Amino acid sequence: MRALDLLDRHEARWQAATRHPFLEGVREGTLPDGAFEAWLVQDYLFVLDGLGFQSRLIPRAPRTDQALIAGGLVALEGELSWFEDKAKERELDLEALRHPTNAAYREFLIGLETEPYPAAITALWAIERAYLEAWTSARPGHPDYREFVEHWTTPDFAGYVSGLEGAAGAALEGASGGERERAEETFLAVARLERDFWEMALSSEGGA
């Protein structure tokens, strides 16, 4: 099983994870007041949780994947600073509580620690790929949000996602049947959690 086969097998659920009225609102400038800001604060907290997951993955990754994942970790840390700058510009308080949807995603990331490596690297690939595709669907973005759309659709980010695809594919090649099943489960969980995250973004009251 190649990582890409998962996208074909679960096309409808993948679409739901990467196309959403929130992203159309980003493209068209039709988001309700406060929705983008509430989402930004929640995504900052998600990236913090992602930093934990990704750092725990490095010591058990094969040597061939460690530089890739460590590079991604450094980029995530830079991402936190970018969120902090944007929050300051927009006068947002980043010390918010996690929305229940975000808390569920955090629990999933913590649970990945006890999943076999092929499942964990498949999840990381799916998380990043979903984000890249989602923001690509919002291109070029309404002027209010364009810098965000550009930031999350760079060739560097696309290259990183390709690297993760290769790593997940190699891990799945060498995986047992049981491990592949776990990888498929985690892929589906990511698709659901990503969809829920966009849902949260549209349904949250401003300042969630």
Q: Which residues are at the interface with ligand HMH (CB under 6 A)?
A: 43, 46-47, 50, 127-128, 131, 194, 197
Q: Give the integer Cα–Cα distance in Å for 139 and 27.
A: 6
83 or 117, CB closer to ligand HMH? 83
End-to-end CA distance of the chain: 40
Smallest gap, in angstroms, from Cβ of residue 176 to ligand HMH? 28
Task: Check the CA dihedral 90-140-187-192 and report its sign.
Answer: positive
Q: Nearest to ligand HMH by Cβ — which residue?
A: 131
CA nearest to 204, candidates 102, 124, 118: 102
The least distance separating ligand HMH from the CB of residue 105, rounded to whole angstroms, comes to: 7
From the CB of 178, what's the least distance to ligand HMH, in Å? 27
Please check whether residue 200 is in contact with residue 99, taking contact to mean a CB–CB distance below 8 angstroms.
yes
User: In this complex, which beta carbon is closest to ligand HMH, that of residue 179 or of residue 194?
Assistant: 194
- Rounded to a whole number of angstroms, the minimum distance from the CB of residue 76 to ligand HMH is 7
Between 46 and 187, CB nearer to ligand HMH: 46
DSSP secondary structure letters along 185-202: HHHHHHHHHHHHHHHHHH
Q: Which is nearer to ligand HMH, 127 or 171 (CB)?
A: 127
